[in-house]
């Protein structure tokens, strides 16, 4: 399959998927990040990197 045919096929699949039709398109859904855990991890890392911040926590 040529590059043109590959791109064309991908666009057709995307259009079918967007229209709610069945297609061979593979859909990847990202996980929702745990923002609270990320913030806590960053706060702990800041304490390790900067001992002055330990007093404020």
Does the structure show a pLDDT above 90 at 32?
yes
Average pLDDT, the chain: 84
- Over the stretch 38-54, which tens digit does the pLDDT of each residue have? 888 887 777 777 767 65
**Phi then psi for 21, rounded to 5 degrees?**
-85, 160
- Euclidean distance between the first and the last CA atom of the chain, given in angstroms as a whole number: 60
Domain count, the chain: 1
Cβ distance 54 to 43 under 8 Å? Answer: no
Mean pLDDT score, 6-30: 90
Model pLDDT, residue 56: 53
pLDDT at residue 4 in the model: 95
Can you tell me the distance from the alpha carbon of 5 to that of 13, in angstroms, rounded to the nearest whole number?
12
pLDDT value at position 2? 94
Structure-token pair, residue 42: 């960053």
Domain that residue 26 falls in: 3-55
d(CA 43, CA 37): 10
- Full-model pTM: 0.47
């Amino acid at each position: 399959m040529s590059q043109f045919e590959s791109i064309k096929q991908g666009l057709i699949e995307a259009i079918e998927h967007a229209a709610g039709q069945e297609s061979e398109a593979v859909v990847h859904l990202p996980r929702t990040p745990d923002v609270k855990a990320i913030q806590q991890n960053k706060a702990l890392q800041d304490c390790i990197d900067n001992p002055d911040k330990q007093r404020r926590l």
